[in-house]
Amino acid sequence: MLRTNRELWFAFFAAVMITGIYLLIVYLTRAIPPAGELFGHSLGILGFLLILMTETLYSLRKRSRVARWGKMSAWLQFHIFTGLVGPYMVLLHTSWKFNGLAGITTLLTVVIVFSGFIGRYIYTRIPRTMDGLEIQNALSEEALRQARRLMSLWHTVHIPIGMALFVAAFVHMGAALYYATFLK
């Protein structure tokens, strides 16, 4: 169960720190960091790695029959932390240009974060144990059933967006590295 907003605060502080470094680079170079140069490129790669962790780690822990380390709630908090900080870094990587497929990849990233907040809201409506297991409660059975139905409907939207994001990101990486890095 997510009992606090701690992960949102951690993500907020990380974003403030990253913004500070970004503004320092803007001040020192008197330019928006280009996506294909050292700082902008590093933001893209690190942000993408965080998004990759977001996509895989929580699902692996949730589905693994052998993995018992760490509470599910902590994994979900980490999922949300990396799911916010990664997209923010990738946004700074874009150098505020959104042409073609790279622009579509950014749009998909924004959509999945937005959808994540909706999912987080529905998730917290379902009573759970500390380990994320749902608690059956006869008193509010109808409301619970509705929340559960909404949650599974939400999964059928959120998961394909994540997959589309990865397909687009891999094509973008291949094309950007080929045309903008290796052909230079």
User: Contact positions toward ligand HEM, by CB under 6 A?
Assistant: 35-36, 41, 44-45, 48, 51, 54-55, 58-59, 62, 76, 79-80, 83-84, 86-87, 90, 93-95, 97-99, 102-103, 105-106, 109, 112-113, 116-117, 119-120, 123, 158-159, 162, 169, 172-173, 176-177, 180-181
- Three-state SS for 27-51 is HHHCCCCCCCCHHHHHHHHHHHHHH
Min separation Cβ 70 and ligand HEM, Å: 14
In this complex, which beta carbon is closest to ligand HEM, that of residue 55 or of residue 144?
55
CA 72 to CA 129: how far, in whole Å?
A: 10
CA 1 to CA 129: how far, in whole Å?
A: 6
Min separation Cβ 22 and ligand HEM, Å: 15
CA 22 to CA 34: how far, in whole Å?
A: 12
- Helix, strand, coil shares, percent, the chain, to 5: 80, 0, 20
In this complex, which beta carbon is closest to ligand HEM, that of residue 36 or of residue 127?
36
CA 48 to CA 20: how far, in whole Å?
A: 20
In this complex, which beta carbon is closest to ligand HEM, that of residue 27 or of residue 121?
121
Min separation Cβ 123 and ligand HEM, Å: 4
Residue 161 and residue 111 in contact, taking contact as beta carbons nearer than 8 Å: yes
Please count the other Cβ atoms lying within 10 Å of the Cβ belonging to residue 154.
17
Min separation Cβ 80 and ligand HEM, Å: 4
Min separation Cβ 146 and ligand HEM, Å: 16
In this complex, which beta carbon is closest to ligand HEM, that of residue 23 or of residue 157?
157
